[in-house]
Amino acid sequence: MSEIRIASRYAKSLFDSAVAQSALDAVVSDVLALSQITEESREFQLFLQSPLLKQDVKKQALEKILANMHQLTRDSILLMNSKKREMFVPAMVQAFLTLNNRHQGITEAVVTSAIALTAQAVSEIESFIIKQSGAKKVQLTQVVNPQVVGGFTVEFEGRLLDKTVAGHIRTLKKELQLA
């Protein structure tokens, strides 16, 4: 089974349990903390992935790390540990946050451009995404890539809006080949 499927199943289970027990805010807070730990600590990532550490050692360490978190969060991570799937915790965290965003009507989007966009441009892109997706809010991530020769790309909900110079040239080439 793929990493994404495994992580998604644990994330959905945790999300559904949190909603059912009215503990979504607490669990989201825990998951955000886990996300920060996994992003910032290479040692934690290696700890989760290490096949050399025994499950009991990992369990004891996870219990200490998760001591101040909600019971649902602890139980989910420790269940993953007992099934020898703790290496999927970072992917489960991302899948959970995606489920939570969908539940709250938040669309995630990535804008790639050669330079940082102005506040007005960001606002217009967010408005466009809200209009296209019907979302309540947009969580926008800006990526600066100097290789983008002009314009920008926007990725959201599996869609790609390519407003780069290279994109326009590709479109023109296709249209000329069809004519």
Tell me the pLDDT tens digit for each residue of 31-76.
999 999 999 999 999 999 998 889 889 999 999 999 999 999 999 9
Question: Which of these three, 86, 102, 118, is where a domain ends?
Answer: 102
In this structure, the answer to whether residues 7 and 62 fall within a common structural domain is: yes
Number of domains in the chain: 2
Tell me the residue range of the domain where 37 lies: 3-102
3-state SS track over the chain: CCHHHHHHHHHHHHHHHHHHCCCHHHHHHHHHHHHHHHHHCHHHHHHHHCCCCCHHHHHHHHHHHCCCCCHHHHHHHHHHHHCCCHHHHHHHHHHHHHHHHHHCCEEEEEEEECCCCCHHHHHHHHHHHHHHHCCCEEEEEEEECCCCCCCEEEEECCEEEECCHHHHHHHHHHHHHHC
Q: What is the pLDDT of residue 170?
A: 86
pLDDT at residue 179 is higher than 70: no
In this structure, the answer to whether residues 81 and 40 fall within a common structural domain is: yes
Question: Which of these three, 74, 102, 130, is where a domain ends?
Answer: 102
In this structure, the answer to whether residues 79 and 136 fall within a common structural domain is: no
CATH code (residue 32) = 1.10.520.20
Question: pTM score > 0.85 for this model?
Answer: no
In this structure, the answer to whether residues 124 and 59 fall within a common structural domain is: no
CATH code (residue 145) = 3.40.30
Average pLDDT over residues 95-103: 92
In this structure, the answer to whether residues 74 and 112 fall within a common structural domain is: no
pLDDT band of 1, cuts 50, 70, 90: low
In this structure, the answer to whether residues 15 and 61 fall within a common structural domain is: yes
